[in-house]
Amino acid sequence: MSEAPSIRTLGQLKASGYHPRSVREEIRLNLLAKLRKGEPLFPGIHGYEDTVIPAVENALLAGQDVLLLGERGQGKSRLIRSLVDLLDEWSPEIAGSEIHDDPVHPVSAYGRETVKKHGDDTELRWVHRTERYGEKLATPDVSTADLVGDVDPMKVVAGRALSDELTMHFGLLPRTNRGIFCINELPDLTEKLQVALFNVMEERDVQIKGYNVRLPLDVLVVASANPEDYTSRGRIVTPLKDRYAAQIRTHYPNNRGVELEIVAQEAHVAGIEGVEIYVPDFMSRIVVETTFQARASPDVSQTSGVSVRVTIANYETLVANALRRAMRHGDGQAVPRVSDLASLRSSIQGKLELEYAASNRGEDEIVDDLVRRAIKTVFDQTCEDAAAYGPIVEAFNQGWVVETTDMTPAREFVEGMDKIEGLREAAVKLAGGDSPPKVASAVEFILEGLHLSNKINKTTNERGSSYGAS
């Protein structure tokens, strides 16, 4: 963040050549400058480069209010908050103004009286762009006073007239004048409140109750909505919907690679001194594939959606279980493996809305099925040469048995592994290293993949799992 300009009075501001701009003009010019320089507009937003972002750019260039429509966990709020970066870094206002009055063109009674009284000596305050953003989560208990404003009874008691603008307590929208205001989950606003937004969206002013108080606001109003809420729990009244010139549909990542990028960016994994965290590629892909399987499952409500937050939480839980095992056995590496996937129940449950037809199946059963399908999909993509695993299958057919739990020490996988032809070579190649934790992870993945391919058998009880002859 750069330092605020040193200009402190209205006279100095005029002498500097300052010309006021509307919020829309300010955003438009800054957006054009970034496009001209080829700078990234929305860093940290992945998967929208060819779909959502071009639509947002068009809306901003056209000076339109924006409604982002999409299921939960699609980055709508993050995208909206990043619009702040398109504002000027510093903006002058009349010091003490509740609604960020422009020093050259004040719109509030306070601002006009201050300039009239002090003239060019009017004191200024410089506001950083992060202060020019307001946000409200729409809930049924939000009132008109919250958004627009109301009469302040204390000021009435002090002797001011009800019709005096200085008697008013301004709501969130006026207090975001010359900035960006976001309403999250717009359909959850009562119809009465949606009607109260009409003037802000069209005439660009607010009216407070029945009093002759009109404020010509300069604010970009953006909103988010879930399609499920859009049609059932709540709705957007038609006149308000009409005032949103741009309605843009968001979506989940279209491919697994983008979802992996988001996980790498968002997952918070606290390391432990002396323990290296290593997540094999196949384990990361299983976590992502589990989410993609859920998004295609008839047992899961697709109108509700499966948030990217599910993938992030699953990844964090997977690594946490591996860290717990590493600390218990004094390993220098924490490497997630297939048996750790059972811990994902806690990070998935409650995040999936199940279809009515799936009510005869427990949530655990559905989650386990999603994980199994994810493992099988990744195994088929990773281990295409089935012939290479023939000797491993033959060893199990001759009586070899492997028992494992999520807390089985990695060294137990390595002991005796050379007795199974081709297992060490396949595991080391797959794991990207020959350390016991890496090899153990690869061995479990191979055994689980062979089981799901009906090559070997697996029995499970409360103690763990046992792989043996089919």
Q: Which domains are assigned to the chain?
A: 10-249 (3.40.50.300), 256-469 (no CATH)
Total Cβ atoms within 10 A of residue 314: 26
Q: What pLDDT score was predicted for residue 166?
A: 72
Q: What pLDDT score was predicted for residue 227?
A: 82
How much helix, strand and coil, in percent to the nearest 5, is found in the chain? 50, 15, 35
Instruction: List the structure tokens of 230.
Output: 């859009």
How far is the CA of 55 from the CAs of 59, 169, 231, 247, in angstroms?
6, 37, 23, 9
pTM of the model: 0.86
**DSSP codes, 249-302:** E----SSHHHHHHHHHHH-----BTTBEE---HHHHHHHHHHHHHHHH-TTB-T
In order along its 470 residues, the chain shows pLDDT tens digits of 789 999 999 999 999 999 999 999 999 999 999 999 999 899 899 999 999 999 999 999 999 999 999 998 999 999 999 999 999 999 999 999 999 999 999 998 899 999 999 999 999 999 999 999 999 998 888 888 888 887 777 766 666 765 666 777 788 998 999 999 999 999 888 888 888 888 788 777 776 666 656 778 899 999 999 887 655 445 788 888 888 989 999 999 999 999 999 999 999 988 788 899 999 999 999 999 999 999 999 999 888 889 999 999 999 999 999 999 999 988 889 999 999 999 999 999 888 888 876 567 778 889 999 999 999 999 999 987 766 788 888 888 888 888 888 888 888 877 777 778 888 888 888 888 889 999 999 999 999 999 999 999 999 888 888 888 87
Q: What pLDDT score was predicted for residue 46?
A: 94
Q: What pLDDT score was predicted for residue 88?
A: 96
**DSSP codes, 348-388:** HTTS-PBPGGGGGS-HHHHHHHHHHHHHHHHHHHH---GGG
Q: What pLDDT score was predicted for residue 124?
A: 96
